[in-house]
């Protein structure tokens, strides 16, 4: 993984060539995407675009709720196999969940591992293991759940992080995907464990 895997960008972001943050996945109540919309209201003076990709019971409400915001767009769902190609233009990936205590124990959203696999900085507001992992590995910035102001601050921090540091975040994310979350390695460890139990 190297700089060439991170998207091209202008010397200075503008409303014509904005900093692109992607959310991919379900648009449901648990995803708390209204918090992203509220954060986007605070971001209107910065050249940042948030792109929601996916579907769900809250999508139409979110479209209505974000009416008039030019820094948000909505796209249809895409097949899982097309996600890497879709995210190649992303400067960052965002992940939110409602502030439910259960989510701080071992929740593992696919979109997080998509971000790691493609190598992109992460913005997340999921307390517990996920925020800790992002902070401990310096993969992006985190916020409190259900707190648009705090999410706005996290997005702003990443936007003002220089490109070279964002590339390092991307590299660290990709390394985590390869060393910790590699399907082959997980299957191998699981197989070893089963063999130990059998024997």
Would you say residue 60 has pLDDT above 70? yes
Spell out the residues 6+ positions from residue 36 whose beta carbon is closer than 8 angstroms to its own. 23, 50, 52, 94, 96, 151
In order, the DSSP letters of 64-115 are HHTTT-TTEEEE----GGGHHHHHTT-SEEEE-----GGGGTT---HHHHHH
Question: To which H or E segment does residue 184 belong?
Answer: helix 183-198
Q: What is the pLDDT of residues 93-115, one digit of tens each?
A: 999 999 877 666 666 677 788 88
Give percent above pLDDT 90 in the chain. 67
SS3 119: coil
> What pLDDT digit, counting tens, does each position of 125-174 carry?
998 889 999 999 999 999 999 999 999 999 999 999 999 999 999 999 99
Entry pTM: 0.87
At 189 the pLDDT is: 59
Split at pLDDT 50, 70, 90, the class of 8 is: confident
């Amino acid at each position: 993984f190297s700089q060439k895997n991170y998207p091209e960008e202008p010397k200075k972001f503008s409303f014509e060539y904005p900093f692109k943050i992607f959310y991919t996945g379900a648009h449901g109540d648990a995803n708390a995407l209204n918090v992203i919309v509220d954060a986007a209201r605070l971001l209107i003076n910065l050249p940042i675009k948030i792109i929601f990709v996916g579907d769900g019971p809250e999508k139409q409400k979110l479209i209505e709720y974000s009416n008039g915001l030019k820094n948000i767009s909505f796209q249809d769902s895409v097949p899982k196999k097309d996600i890497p190609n879709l995210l190649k233009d992303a400067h960052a990936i965002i992940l939110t969940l409602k502030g439910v205590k259960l989510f701080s124990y071992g929740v593992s959203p696919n979109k997080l591992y998509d971000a790691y696999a493609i190598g992109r900085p992460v913005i997340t507001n999921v307390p517990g293991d996920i925020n800790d992992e992002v902070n401990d590995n310096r993969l992006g910035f985190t916020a409190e759940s259900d707190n648009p102001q705090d999410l706005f601050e996290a997005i702003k921090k990443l936007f003002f992080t220089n490109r070279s540091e964002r590339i390092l975040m991307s590299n660290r994310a990709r390394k985590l995907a390869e060393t910790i979350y590699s399907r082959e390695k997980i299957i191998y460890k699981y197989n070893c464990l089963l063999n130990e139990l059998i024997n």
